[in-house]
């Protein structure tokens, strides 16, 4: 059995300032080559911070602990030229808002070609040929003309396709996607999701995809890791999570959607709000919002209960399969 493409062990991230924020707390994850893993959770759960830690895109105020290995490389030990080669060469990211991620003063062709020249050491003509090929792969119409367009001349969906082309131009082994379809309308969203899945299979990449939308997670993922308050609370294959959610938070996320809900029915919601994370959690972070909470839930951190290969839940009641609702 080949080793995982990504190994994250006890990752912790805290931001120091007027107040210390414990954004990530003891997160451990693995990703196989060619696998699509979705990090699912509401805003503030630590999904995007986890991706940025994987690329070392952290401000100076951040303190990172634990270990991150990508394709055998110790990411947290990289510096200088090695770190630059890792970003874009070994791992790359598709950001949520391409209008902010793309440089407005260069054409999209120039931006893709620059990345190719930097990582592949080819001349500009070869790099532009690669840029054209990538625009074709992401199915941008009239790609020869679009090479000369600036980002503001393209629609939101087209800019996101350019962002994907830029991220994949150097054929990274790991692609990180930070809610890349959130700002798009439903029709364009499904097109981008299908495109990402197609390219992931064609290139054989491992992908970590961040979303708060359970519908998106089901559409695109092989496995789902549910995050809450900077920690993994449940993990399993997509089919396992959808058919048999065992953490009250996961159950709440699945209940709070419009699929198969009769018109006029009141939508279920998780009461309360996520914690502020100004202190490192010493008990179950979801207990204040959980209708199943017991005194034991507030007495200490819940153990991570394993249910076979890759299936785990951090809840005292995880083994009670009759538990429903959040």
Distance CA 247, CA 250 (A): 5
Alpha helices in the chain (DSSP H): 47-55, 80-85, 98-101, 108-120, 124-137, 143-146, 156-168, 186-203, 214-220, 238-243, 248-255
For residue 78, being part of any structural domain is answered with yes
Instruction: Give the per-residue pLDDT at 268.
Output: 78
For residue 319, being part of any structural domain is answered with no
Instruction: Give the per-residue pLDDT at 326.
Output: 41
pLDDT in tens, 56-99: 999 988 999 999 999 999 999 999 999 999 999 999 999 888 88
Instruction: Give the per-residue pLDDT at 243.
Output: 92
Domain count of the chain?
A: 1
Distance CA 52, CA 32 (A): 19
Positions of the chain with pLDDT under 50: 321-326
For residue 326, being part of any structural domain is answered with no
Distance CA 193, CA 181 (A): 8
Instruction: Give the per-residue pLDDT at 188.
Output: 85
Instruction: Give the per-residue pLDDT at 325.
Output: 41
Instruction: Give the per-residue pLDDT at 315.
Output: 94
Distance CA 222, CA 287 (A): 29
For residue 324, being part of any structural domain is answered with no
Closest to 62 in 3D by CA, of 53, 70, 54: 53
Angle at the Cα of 227 from the Cα atoms of 266 and 156, rounded to 5 degrees? 75
For residue 203, being part of any structural domain is answered with yes
For residue 1, being part of any structural domain is answered with no
For residue 277, being part of any structural domain is answered with yes
Instruction: Give the per-residue pLDDT at 259.
Output: 65
User: The CATH number of the domain where 183 resides is what?
Assistant: 3.40.50.300
For residue 51, being part of any structural domain is answered with yes
Q: Which domain holds residue 235?
A: 6-314
């Amino acid at each position: 059995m080949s080793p995982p493409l990504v190994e994250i062990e006890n990752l912790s991230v805290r931001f120091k300032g007027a107040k210390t924020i414990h954004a990530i707390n003891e997160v451990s994850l693995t990703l196989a080559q060619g696998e699509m893993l979705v990090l699912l959770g509401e805003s503030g759960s630590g999904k995007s911070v986890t991706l940025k830690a994987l690329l070392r895109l952290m401000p100076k105020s951040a303190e990172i602990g634990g270990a991150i290995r990508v394709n055998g490389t110790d990411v947290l030990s990289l510096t200088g030229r090695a770190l630059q080669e890792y970003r874009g060469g070994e791992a790359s990211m598709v950001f949520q808002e391409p209008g902010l991620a793309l440089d407005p003063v260069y054409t999209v062709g120039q931006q893709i070609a620059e990345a190719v020249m930097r990582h592949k050491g080819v001349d500009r003509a070869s790099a532009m040929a690669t840029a054209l090929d990538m625009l074709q792969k992401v199915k941008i119409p009239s790609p020869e003309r679009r090479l000369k367009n600036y980002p503001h001349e393209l629609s939101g969906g087209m800019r996101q396709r350019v962002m994907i082309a830029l991220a994949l131009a150097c054929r990274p082994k790991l692609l990180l996607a930070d809610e890349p379809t959130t700002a798009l309308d439903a029709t364009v969203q499904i097109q981008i999701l299908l495109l990402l899945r197609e390219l992931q299979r064609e290139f054989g990449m491992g992908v970590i995809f961040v979303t708060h939308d359970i519908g998106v997670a089901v559409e695109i993922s092989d496995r789902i890791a549910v995050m809450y308050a900077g920690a993994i609370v449940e993990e399993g294959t997509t089919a396992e999570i959808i058919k048999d959610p065992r953490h009250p938070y996961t159950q709440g996320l699945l209940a709070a959607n419009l699929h198969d809900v009769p018109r006029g029915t009141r939508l279920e919601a998780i009461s309360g709000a996520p914690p502020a994370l100004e202190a490192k959690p010493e008990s179950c972070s979801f207990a204040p919002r959980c209708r199943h909470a017991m005194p034991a839930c507030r007495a200490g951190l819940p153990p991570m209960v394993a249910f076979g290969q890759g299936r785990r839940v951090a809840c005292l009641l995880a083994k009670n399969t009759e538990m429903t609702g959040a």
